[in-house]
Amino acid sequence: MSVVDLKVNGVSRRVDVAEGTPLLYVLRNDLELRGPQFGCGLAQCGACSVLVDGKEARACILSAADVAGQEITTLEGLPARWAKQQGLPAAADQPLHPVQQAWIDEQVPQCGFCQNGMMIKATELLEQTPSPSVAQIRDAFMDGPSPHLCRCGTYVAIVAAVQRAAAAMAKGKKR
Ligand code: FES
Ligand code: FES
């Protein structure tokens, strides 16, 4: 066992884990953050994704020790991340991140299993490319080097939700 200091959703968390324990297990089992899901365990589906220093990472293959000290954001931390980016104070009743709200408004999820990774990917995409084209969205989720798999086939709704979130984020940033 070894002690690992993590920074998750803006909070420092110390965990005592066996060497090589995947970040996903620490998030779900030790920190009770159940947004990230275990899908393939092989970095191929994206269900387990989190942001590490703003980049999407597959938590099933990263060891917790590998990301010690880096900024980890899970689905649960997206509202606070958005508030911080707008210069708003952290609050218990933080509104949802525009990506999460767009996912509700477009009724994207079907079974829901993959959707953690979809929203994490959308957040990464929109932070890097605030107004992506349909081709860029398709590249991020489907056609690029690290696709996200959805067995329910929600991709059409995902494109619409990313476009809706992009508009909301652009509006939010002008405030
Ligand atoms: S569970 Fe991590 S990519 Fe599939
Ligand atoms: S919503 Fe069911 S796998 Fe994507």
**What's the pLDDT tens digit per position in 107-122?**
999 999 999 999 999 9
Give residue ranges with CB within 6 A of ligand 2. 109-115, 150-152, 154
Place of tokens 């477009």: 106
Predicted confidence (pLDDT) at residue 175 exceeds the cutoff of 70? no
- For the chain, how many residues are written? 175
107: left (phi over 0), alpha (psi -120 to 50) or beta: left
Pocket test for ligand 2, best of 150, 155, 156 (most atoms within 8 A of CB): 150
Degrees to nearest 5, angle at CA 93 with 91 and 94: 70
Q: How far is the CA of 140 from the centre of ligand 1 (A)?
A: 16
Q: How many helices (H) and strands (E) does the chain have?
A: 6, 5
Give residue ranges with CB within 6 A of ligand 1. 38-41, 43-48, 58, 60
Predicted confidence (pLDDT) at residue 43 exceeds the cutoff of 60? yes
Q: How far is the CA of 91 from the centre of ligand 1 (A)?
A: 31
**Contact in structure between 149 and 45 (CB atoms under 8 Å):** yes
Q: What pLDDT, on a 0 to 100 scale, did the predictor assign at position 158? A: 98
